Structure 1
Amino acid sequence: MQHEPDHFELLGLSPGFAVDRDALDRAWREVQAKVHPDRHAAGSAQERRVAMQWASRANEAYRTLRSPLARARYLCERAGVDLQVETNTAMTPAFLMQQMEWREALDDARTARDSAALEALSAELAAARRRMIAEVGELLDHRHDYAAAAVRVREWMFIEKFSEEIDAAVDALAEQD
């Protein structure tokens, strides 16, 4: 049985959380230039189907590696660590406390219809996201501690989801004005 390349291999990139975005874009374009179905339009049905499959895999690899959160998840899973995002909600006690504070701040801002408080909360989450990116990068690329990274990735997923809630609250407040 032939080895299926992972996302990094497929795009000819070294595996790691830190990815040069320009190199990723170039690698994806190069792979697409070789496998794009239009290049195989005159080929047999099987050649066209294979080209379509490779183009689809290249697109999936690019989408995954382009997103820092998706890339972190992929690296954990690639290392054999199942994030168990549907069943494992374990987070550090400090993060759980932070989560409760953020939820309370969001509820207070909604109740008070305080757009400045919502913007401040959004800025606080953006800072938390930046810290999370740095920490996950350290855990994955330098410490190779995929289990600890998985915990932080689950927390990062909360940050992203909660950021969407804040954005929705900002939009709802703007619509009411």
Structure 2
Amino acid sequence: MDFSRTHFELFGLPTAYALDRDKLDAAYRELQNAVHPDRFAAQPESEQRVAMQWATQVNEAYQTLKHPVNRGVYLLRLQGIDTLDASNTKMSPAFLMQQMEWRESIEDARAGKSVTALDALSDELRAAHRRIEAQLAELIDAARDFAAASEAVRQLRFMDKLIAEVGDVYEELES
């Protein structure tokens, strides 16, 4: 096996944001089965070490590609763009305003102990997440507008944090 292959090449998938999750899962299971360290238990230590390295790489590649934000970050990194650069905080004013409104809604639901409000907000956030994912696929795969895609990745990261925050409020209200 070649350690220099991209995650997409490793799984035999096209280098694209939009991917077939079933194919990714199937390729992962197949590779995991082939490189699992237990299969090399009777082999020399050097082969066991290589198998462990492969298993680690396969797991890391799978985790990267299955998560929308990580997949976007990885694809942009392949283009030489670091979306996680702390100095790159550009975000559209409309998105920033929307994010502030969502945060206020989270606080209102927390203060009002309203599971109904959290349910509605959770649905809204997940729908917005899906829209941004679709936009990101368009920006990377079709338009190849990597600058705009970088902002979309940052927006998805914000959305993940908001969705997690809603989950935290659900837990607070349950206890």
Q: Is TM-score (shorter-chain normalized) higher than 0.5?
A: yes
TM-aligned CA deviation for residue 43 of structure 1: 1.8
Report % sequence identity. 49
> Aligned to 2:122, what secondary structure does the other structure show?
helix
- In 1, the alpha carbon distance for the partners of 2:32 and 2:111 equals 50
State the match for 2:83 in structure 1: 83
> Aligned to 1:169, what secondary structure does the other structure show?
helix
State the number of aligned residues.
Answer: 174
TM-aligned CA deviation for residue 24 of structure 1: 1.0
| Runs of 4+ with >6 A deviation | none
State the match for 2:169 in structure 1: 169
**Does 2:114 match 1:106?**
no
- In 2, the alpha carbon distance for the partners of 1:134 and 1:27 equals 23
> Aligned to 1:18, what secondary structure does the other structure show?
coil
TM-aligned CA deviation for residue 3 of structure 1: 6.6
TM-aligned CA deviation for residue 38 of structure 1: 2.1
- In 1, the alpha carbon distance for the partners of 2:37 and 2:28 equals 15
- In 1, the alpha carbon distance for the partners of 2:26 and 2:173 equals 41
Write the mapping of 1:135-154 to structure 2, written as runs, cut at 5 A: 135-154=135-154
> Aligned to 1:161, what secondary structure does the other structure show?
helix
Give me the TM-score of the superposition, normalised by structure 2.
0.91
State the match for 1:20 in structure 2: 20
Give me the TM-score of the superposition, normalised by structure 1.
0.90
- In 1, the alpha carbon distance for the partners of 2:112 and 2:38 equals 56
Structure 2 gap ranges (5+): none
For 2:61, the aligned partner's letter is A
- Give the superposed CA RMSD: 1.7
